[in-house]
Chains A and B, each alone.
Chain A
Amino acid sequence: GNSVTQMEGPVTLSEEAFLTINCTYTATGYPSLFWYVQYPGEGLQLLLKATKADDKGSNKGFEATYRKETTSFHLEKGSVQVSDSAVYFCALLTDSWGKLQFGAGTQVVVTP
């Protein structure tokens, strides 16, 4: 079956540090891949997505590249801010209209 594995948190960083959150997946076919962010007390927001191999999704300084050869979709940001403190979820979608399979989530804490 399909699955998503994320690195465990919490990840604690200082402001302006480089952030990487690892995400690997197992899926049949060619899934679309997503990163969602959940700020404290809020619902999920779509951060970025990639729908085919070698696509790079980017938004708000975050980037992730769809690597089919390593079945990965790692999230990166070059210089984090305190406002980036949140829980980040990697997810995949295999159906054209269908359910998202989420990873466990990674909490990121950025300190001033």
Chain B
Amino acid sequence: SAVISQKPSRDICQRGTSLTIQCQVDSQVTMMFWYRQQPGQSLTLIATANQGSEATYESGFVIDKFPISRPNLTFSTLTVSNMSPEDSSIYLCSAEGGQETSFNEQFFGPGTRLTVL
């Protein structure tokens, strides 16, 4: 299985600031995704991070608020912009489709726990 790391693991931020979360996979993967898990709730897909092109966002999520980069097949970043307390969540990165992953299996990073004051 692929090993996925995220940085930072947690952060406390002030309202109106931005935070960039990094996701690193230990092998090349075809697909990378970003999810949000609000307190006590399930996971919601924010977007698919596409290598070499703009991310594909799900309904309710926009690029201005959650810009995403994917410069290569092992790395992606998610920025949470102009934060408000409602953005307090765990943000998780996942990956699928590499030599170290099986078809149809997504592997997840440990998550970044964000608190906005």
Residue ranges of A at the interface with B (Cβ–Cβ < 8 Å)? 32, 36, 42-46, 49, 51, 89, 93, 96-100, 102-105
Contact = CB atoms under 8 A, between A and B. Distances in A.
B58 to A, nearest CB: 7
Contact of B106 (A42, A100, A105): A100
A93 B102 CA distance: 14
A97 B48 CA distance: 10
Interface string B83-108: 00000000010101100000011111
B104 A45 contact: no
A100 B41 contact: no
Contact of B104 (A36, A42, A43, A49): A49
Interface of B: 1, 30-31, 33, 41-45, 48, 58, 92, 94, 96-97, 104-111
Contact of A46 (B43, B44, B45, B105): B105
Contacts of A98: 48
Contact of A44 (B41, B92, B96): B92
B82 to A, nearest CB: 25
B111 A100 contact: no
B96 A97 contact: yes
Contacts of A102: 42-44
A9 to B, nearest CB: 11
Contacts of B94: 44, 100
A89 B43 contact: yes
B108 A43 contact: yes
Given A42-B110, A46-B107, A97 B30 contact: yes
